[in-house]
Structure 1
Amino acid sequence: MVGKPNRQVAVFGAGYIGLVTGACLAELGHRVVVRDISADKISLLKAGDVPIYEPGLGDMIARNKERLTFTLDLREALDGAEVAYVCVDTPPSASGDADLSKVWSVVRSLEGASHLKAVAVKSTVPVGTGTRVRAALDAAGLAHVGYAANPEFTAEGTAVNDFMHPDRIVVGASDEATARLIAELHEGVDGPVVVMDVRSAEMVKLASNALLATKISFINEIATLCEKTGADVEDVAGAVGLDHRLGRHFLRPGIGWGGSCFPKDSEALRQLANNTGYHLQLLSAVIEVNNLQKRRAVQKLKDALGDLAGARVALLGLTFKPGTDDMREAPSAVLAARLLAEGAEVRCWDPMARPAETEPWTSTSRHASPEAAVEGADAAIVVTEWPQLREVDWAQTAAVMRRPVMFDGRNMLDPAEMRAAGWTYMSVGRP
């Protein structure tokens, strides 16, 4: 325990953000009740199991079991709560705007909770949402309850550390008292508190993710140009990243970004601009580059193999990044769908992924190891940079393939070593 137990907090949503928020607030000494409408999730959590994989989260929940509880019951969650945190997901709607139906469901459920001091939204929402929530709270007789936008900046695989040691804690509050309250909740967190107005705080989250996505798409475009000119993108990115004005982070070429944040937030920001009558040309290009990057991987295999009809292709890694079981917007889904459309047989390996029982996954096969996935295959694609792939005996693996062709979509293996091991090896932006 870092801080002193001094606040009662209700957290709505037991997903990645809600569980990390609840566990970390309990670690700071607060009494936290996490409420979700999924009976399966709450049943698992009450039994001591965590329904998602996030390093350190299970241990933190177990360590704080006296201050951290889970419930399906709204009244139990709100009983005595001073702050209600909204941590539900906001997926894209059919129009590309953020679907705020779960946010509004939580806001409506707060009617009558006059004992609350503040409502804080961690969910990523369009700029202007806070104004609408403020009006809804006022109409529900909760005008005395403060409102804050307190966006999260955690990355899956490092979320617990990101919460406890953030670059910044952004608090957009409707009044000074609410800003102080939210800041006090974070006492013991190793990071500066940055206070601003609600709309600016909402924009910070969207702008941050859009800028990170831009860096990835930029280096992927440079990688394509490196392939055409004979330059090595690894050397280029390394030297560019030494510039203190630019930095090394997110200058890694690959098959594109995915996950729960970058695709959704980039599209949400673009739609927000479109709704104001302004077209974000740069961001639109960033999204287009990312969409094309996955398809370029399939084209490289076609160039190497010829017709993909009847070819066996192994996808090595399915999650959008290592260290998580999250399949949301994973590049592997696009790759699998495109390969199947070309008539290929798709074989898959991933140590953590749990693909949905839907297409394209129902038309693929799962294998227990990278070696098993590539046996008898014509090609392999490194999709996720799981460290297990560095331990594979690639010379031995090449010998059990029909045609040892590899596209390394994460540049994690050494080109000279792979070619010496008998592979026709291709990567991103390396000659």
Structure 2
Amino acid sequence: MKITVVGGGYVGLVSGACLADLGHDVTIIDTVSAKVDMINSKKPPIYEKGLLDILKRTVGKNLTASTKYENVSESDVSLICVGTPPKKDGSANLDYIKSAAASIGEELKKKSEKYHVVAVKSTVPPGTTEGIVKTTVLEYSGRNDEDVGFSMNPEFLREGLAVEDFMHPDRIVIGSSDKRAGDVIEQMYEKLNGDVLHTGITAAEMIKYTSNAFLATKISFSNEIGNICKSLSIDVYEVMKGVGMDHRISPYFLNAGAGFGGSCFPKDVSALVSLAEEKDQNPILLKSVLDVNKTQPLKMTEILKSRLCSLKNKKIAVLGLAFKDNTDDIRDSRSIPVIEALILEEADVFAFDPMASDNMKNIYPEINYCKTALEALKDAEGCLVMTEWPEFSKLNDEFNQMKSKIIIEGRHILTIDEKEGICW
């Protein structure tokens, strides 16, 4: 199949590259020429395990990137993978969605006889595909919905494991208003073994939001329980191990800690809250999920301050800047509010992350960035561990270089004895 992917960001690049690796002829469209040049040079603009190898195999063969939409009219499917960043009120900004739909429509106008499916992979509020994408594409193309099909095909990719998740999905959700469009999208994935679920378009949109909201809820719930356990001197990890053995609950996303971040959970839960309020619903539980996540990381600086009395002019090591391991993504990283709090307390912050330091410099250029964990720890009077990088679990003698060995961890990864957990 010939596939056009609109958006060369995280979802678009991974999806486009993996579809090309499956044998499809793929063009990725992005407005940033520097990003397009990197892709065409077989250099991924983001870090994702396995992505570089795929680009080496496919670019110049059946994968290319462009700033123009000219390949849309020749393709069988257009996948919309543009961003839906949050507005100030928490609702999803759909400007990029509408712009992509208009550009696709303008290009489809040039060739009216070829059946084409427009599928949305971006996370969008229910009603967006039919209410914005479909109406915009048909308006700009001058065509009707008999020769242009529409689908919602949400992604379920974990950063750091996105290639693995795409190639070995646990489910492929295809929302469509007619069988023909849904069959085309299913054909696109015919080489994969994931279970396929066909739904209505709005149901598919809601599945994505609900999945992320539920996982975020499990995390905030675990953190609430962890805070209670800490006050009772109970190890929350022992508790959650027992809880997770219940097959109705499962052990996943029950790790208490500093909370969730990244490009999906905070944004999507906020958007779902906003959507509910638009419909005169009061999503109390979802609001609480966000409230717990907002205050949870600050408990680390509170504990640290209680141990040191004052943080002013004291060297504090922050290990981990990315929102999770195996990525350089700092979006809504729990280290951001922690660093902000340390700066307000006038601490001297020395940070280390294996991948994300350059990205964090764009937010906090004033703090010190170290090339190794040892450099950050040497003569530090306190240490906060924010990201579950596997290499942090191997640190041992490095902590002996601290001036005072006060170590607070937010990810339950350290193997040393002299540490304190945020909620255990």
What residue number does 1:102 align with?
96
* Alignment-mate amino acid for residue 33 of structure 2: A
Equivalent-residue separation in structure 2 for 1:357 and 1:222 (angstroms): 34
What does 1:159-198 align with in structure 2 at a 5 Å threshold?
159-198=162-201
The Cα shift of 1:116 comes to 5.0
Contact residue 209 and residue 268 of structure 2 kept, 8 A: yes
Inter-partner Cα distance in structure 2 for 1:346 and 1:148: 48
- How far apart, CA to CA, are the structure 2 residues paired with 1:300 and 1:357? 26
**Partners of 1:398 and 1:170 in 2: CA distance:** 47
Deviation at 1:142, TM superposition (A): 2.9
Aligned to 1:137: 137
Distance 1:153 1:120 in 2: 15
Q: CA RMSD in A?
A: 1.2
Aligned to 1:307: 310
Counterpart in the other structure of 2:2: 8
How much has 1:309 moved relative to structure 2?
1.4
SS at match of 1:127: coil
Query: What does residue range 355-374 of structure 1 map to in structure 2 within 5 Å?
Result: 355-359=359-363, 361-374=364-377
Paired residue secondary structure (1:212): helix
- Distance in 2 (CA, whole Å) between partners of 1:180 and 1:367 is 52
Contact 1:81 1:116 in 2 (8 A): no
Shift of 1:72: 1.2
Match in the other structure for 1:269 = 272
SS in structure 2 of the partner of residue 138 of structure 1: helix
2-structure distance, mates of 1:15, 1:136: 22
1:257-296 aligned at under 5 Å gives the runs 257-296=260-299
What does the per-residue CA deviation read over 1:204-248, in whole Å, with 9 as the maximum and x for residues that have no partner?
Answer: 000000000000001111111111112111110111100000000
Please report how far the alpha carbon of residue 262 of structure 1 lies from its aligned counterpart in structure 2 after TM superposition.
0.4
Q: Which amino acid aligns with 2:359?
A: P
Q: Distance in 2 between matches of 1:428 and 1:237?
A: 15
Q: 1:35 aligns with which of 29, 35, 38?
A: 29
Give the CA deviation at 1:79.
4.7
Query: What displacement does 1:428 show?
Result: 3.3
CA distance in 1, matches of 2:130, 2:247: 38
Q: Does 1:69 align with 2:73?
A: no
- Code of the residue aligned with 1:269 in structure 2: it is L
Letter in 1 for 2:42: G
Q: Please give the secondary structure, in 2, of the residue aligned with 1:355.
A: helix
Shift of 1:174: 1.6
Aligned residue number for residue 411 of structure 2? 410
Q: How far apart, CA to CA, are the structure 2 residues paired with 1:264 and 1:272? A: 12
In the alignment, which residue of structure 2 is the partner of 1:209? 212
**Does the residue aligned with 1:110 lie in a helix, a strand or coil?**
helix
| Mean CA deviation greater in 220-229 or 384-393 | 384-393
Residue 116 (structure 2) pairs with residue 117 (structure 1): yes
Instruction: Give the TM-score normalised by structure 2.
Output: 0.95
CA distance in 2: counterparts of 1:300 and 1:352, whole angstroms: 27
Q: Deviations over 1:65-85 (max 9, x none)?
A: 31111111221x325111110
Q: CA deviation at 1:94?
A: 2.0
**Do residues 297 (structure 1) and 300 (structure 2) align?**
yes
Distance across 1 between alignment mates of 2:236 and 2:384: 19
Distance in structure 1 (CA, Å) of the matches to 2:88 and 2:222: 30
**Taking structure 1 as reference, are residues 356 and 426 closer, same or farther at Cα in structure 2, changes over 3 Å only?**
closer
Aligned equivalents of 2:420, 2:189: Cα separation in 1: 47
Counterpart AA for 2:32:
S
Report whether the alignment pairs 1:60 with 2:43: no
| Deviations 1:232-290, CA, capped at 9 Å, x for gaps | 11110111100000000001011010000000001000000011110100010111011
Q: TM-score, normalised by structure 1?
A: 0.93
Contact 2:9 2:82 in 1 (8 A): yes
Distance 1:376 1:391 in 2: 19
Distance 1:116 1:307, change over 3 A: farther
SS in 1 for 2:330: coil
1:124-164: CA deviation from partner (whole Å, max 9, x where unpaired): 01111012122222323232311100000000011011111
Q: Structure 1 unaligned segments of length 5 or more: list them.
A: 1-6, 420-424
1:163-213 Cα deviation digits (max 9, x unpaired): 111111111102110010001100011201100101100000000000000
Deviation at 1:403, TM superposition (A): 1.4
In structure 2, what is the Cα distance between the partners aligned to 1:356 and 1:378? 22
| 8 A contact 2:175–2:182 mirrored in 1 | yes
Quote the Cα distance in structure 2 between the aligned partners of 1:398 and 1:254.
21
Which position in structure 2 is the counterpart of 1:127? Answer: 126
8 Å contact kept, 1:127–1:199 = yes
2:238 pairs with 1:235: yes
Q: Distance between the aligned counterparts of 2:343 and 2:24, measured in 1?
A: 50
SS at match of 1:111: helix
Which residue does the alignment assign to 2:40?
Answer: 46
Task: Show the counterpart of 1:4.
Answer: none
Q: 2: CA distance between counterparts of 1:387 and 1:27?
A: 29
SS in 2 for 1:97: coil
Q: CA deviation at 1:87?
A: 0.4
Provide the rounded CA distance (Å) in 2 between the counterparts of 1:171 and 1:154: 15
SS at structure 2 position matched to 1:124: coil
Pairwise CA distance, 1:296 = 0.8
Q: How far apart are the structure 2 equivalents of 1:179 and 1:398? A: 56
CA distance in 1, matches of 2:335, 2:234: 27
Unmatched 5+ stretches in structure 2: none
2:422 maps to 428
Q: How much has 1:356 moved relative to structure 2?
A: 4.7
Show structure 1 runs of 4+ deviating over 4 A: none
2:207 aligned counterpart, secondary structure: helix
Q: Establish whether residue 90 from structure 1 lines up as the match of residue 84 from structure 2.
A: yes
Partners of 1:398 and 1:62 lie apart in 2 by: 40
Q: Distance in 2 between matches of 1:358 and 1:60?
A: 29
